[in-house]
Amino acid sequence: MHIHIAVDDLEANIRFYSALFGAEPNVIKSDYAKWKLADPAVNFAISDRGRTPGLDHVGIQADSDEGLAALRARLEAGDISGAEQQSAGCCYARSDKYWLQDPQGIPWEAFHTLESIPTFGDDQEPALANQDCAGSACCVPMMPVPFTR
């Protein structure tokens, strides 16, 4: 899978994504950076529950509580703050989550799935900064999660 995000501050985004992925880019140019990662594995989902058609959020799934804690520690070591959700019901699963935003305001979800649930979701959180969340998918929390360096 390939994801390409247009950014307005390459250096800030290199810091953010290096902390998020726990790796430096394989390629860095004056206008470009690329990470070629073997991990995390891809969990690709679509739904008709988003605010508007298009990218809703991006996430990294941890295989354990320890993996989620390690990911959060890595982000915090990179001075990237976020918001924690415990036992959140979303996308037919109950998960522990850690939410943050990249420098463009794209929501990122670090999560560990605890169990399947019979409904799409039950999260009712306040809105992420800079987003109109009317008709939002339940997965994206609605709380201010600014990118900090």
Report strand pairing: 83-90 vs 107-116. unpaired
Distance CA 48, CA 52 (A): 9
Give me the pLDDT at residue 124, please: 46
Whether pLDDT at 130 is above 60:
no
Three-class SS of the chain:
CCCCCCCCCHHHHHHHHHHHHCCCCCEEECCEEECCCCCCCCCCCCCCCCCCCCCCCEEEECCCHHHHHHHHHHHHHCCCCCEEEEEEEECCEEEEEEEEECCCCCEEEEEEEEEECCCCECCCCCCCCCCCCCCCCCCCCCCCCCCCC
Q: Per-residue confidence at 12, pLDDT binned at 50, 70, 90?
A: very high
Which pTM value belongs to this model?
0.73
- Domain 41-116 fold: 2,3-Dihydroxybiphenyl 1,2-Dioxygenase; domain 1 (3.10.180)
For residues 79-101, give the mean pLDDT.
91
Give me the pLDDT at residue 97, please: 94
**Any idea what the Cα angle at residue 97 is, between residues 94 and 101, rounded to 5°?**
140
66: how many CB neighbours lie within 10 A of its CB? 10
Q: Per-residue confidence at 87, pLDDT binned at 50, 70, 90?
A: very high
Give me the pLDDT at residue 139, please: 60
Domain boundaries, the chain: 41-116
Distance CA 140, CA 138 (A): 6
82: how many CB neighbours lie within 10 A of its CB? 23
